Amino acid sequence: MISREVINNKYVRIFILALVLFFPTLSNLVEHAASSTGIVLVLAGLPMILYREMRPTVSREEKWLMWAFAGYFAVAFLSFAVNTLTGDLVDPHLKYIEKAMRILFFVPVYFLLRRIRLPQWILWYGVSIGAIVAGIYALIDAGAFHGFQPGYRVSGGYHSIAFGDLSLVIGFMSFSGLGYFRERHAALVLIPITGLTLGMIACFLSGTRGAWIAMPTLLFVAFRQLDGYLKPWLRGLTVGIICLICFAAYAIPETGIANRINAVFDETEAYFQGDIVGGAGERYEIWKAAWNIYREHPFLGVGPGGVKSEIQKMIAEGRVDPVIAGYKRSHSSYFSAMAECGLVGLVALLAVFVVPLRVAVSAIRQGGAGRDVAYAGLMLIAGFMHFGLTETILGRSVLASFYVVMLAVTLSMPAQYRVEKISGLQGLTA
Whether the per-residue pLDDT at 428 is higher than 60: the answer is no
Q: What is the dihedral of CA 274, 279, 284, 287, to 10 degrees?
A: 140
Contact 385, 353 (CB under 8 A): yes
pLDDT of residue 426: 39
**Which residue did the predictor score with more confidence, 200 or 57?**
200
pLDDT of residue 421: 67
| Cα 150 from Cα 230, distance rounded (Å) | 38
List the single range of 73-77, 224-228, 300-304 with lowest mean pLDDT: 224-228
Contact 335, 319 (CB under 8 A): no
Cite the DSSP H helix spans in 318-396. 333-366, 371-387
In this structure, which amino acid lies at residue 126?
A: G
Q: How confident is the model at residue 427 (pLDDT cuts 50, 70, 90)?
A: very low
Tens of pLDDT, residues 299-323: 999 999 888 888 989 999 988 888 8
Whether the per-residue pLDDT at 134 is higher than 90: the answer is yes
CA angle 228, 234, 240 (to 5 degrees): 115
Averaged pLDDT for residues 370-393: 95
List the single range of 80-84, 91-95, 381-385, 396-400 with lowest mean pLDDT: 91-95
Contact 17, 118 (CB under 8 A): yes
**295 CB neighbour count, 10 Å cutoff:** 10
Total residue count of the chain as it appears in this document: 430
Averaged pLDDT for residues 183-211: 91
Q: How confident is the model at residue 8 (pLDDT cuts 50, 70, 90)?
A: low
Sign of the CA dihedral with 276 first, then 279, 282, and 288 last:
negative
Tell me the whole-structure pTM to 2 decimals.
Answer: 0.92
| Cα 327 from Cα 312, distance rounded (Å) | 10
| Cα 388 from Cα 396, distance rounded (Å) | 11
Whether the per-residue pLDDT at 425 is higher than 60: the answer is no
Q: Which of 36, 21, 1, 16 is nearest to 116 (CA)?
A: 16
Averaged pLDDT for residues 317-342: 89
**Which residue did the predictor score with more confidence, 87 or 167?**
167
Q: How confident is the model at residue 422 (pLDDT cuts 50, 70, 90)?
A: low
In Å, how far are 30, 34, 138, 171, 345 from 26, measured between CA atoms? 5, 7, 14, 15, 31
> DSSP string of 73-107?
HHHHHHHHHHHHHTT--S---THHHHHHHHHHTHH
Q: How confident is the model at residue 18 (pLDDT cuts 50, 70, 90)?
A: very high
CA angle 39, 44, 47 (to 5 degrees): 125
DSSP 190: H
List the single range of 33-42, 113-122, 269-278, 349-358 with lowest mean pLDDT: 269-278
**358 CB neighbour count, 10 Å cutoff:** 15
Whether the per-residue pLDDT at 34 is higher than 80: the answer is yes
Q: How confident is the model at residue 156 (pLDDT cuts 50, 70, 90)?
A: confident
**Which residue did the predictor score with more confidence, 76 or 246?**
76
Q: Is 154 helix (H, G, I), strand (E, B) or coil?
A: coil
* Buried/exposed code over 133-160 (b: 16+ C-beta within 10 A; e: otherwise): bbbebbbebbeeeeeeeeebbbbbbbbb
Tens of pLDDT, residues 227-236: 767 777 777 7
In this structure, which amino acid lies at residue 23?
A: F
Whether the per-residue pLDDT at 130 is higher than 80: the answer is yes
In Å, how far are 268, 279, 282 from 274, measured between CA atoms? 10, 15, 12
Q: What are phi and psi of 119, to 5 degrees?
A: -75, 150
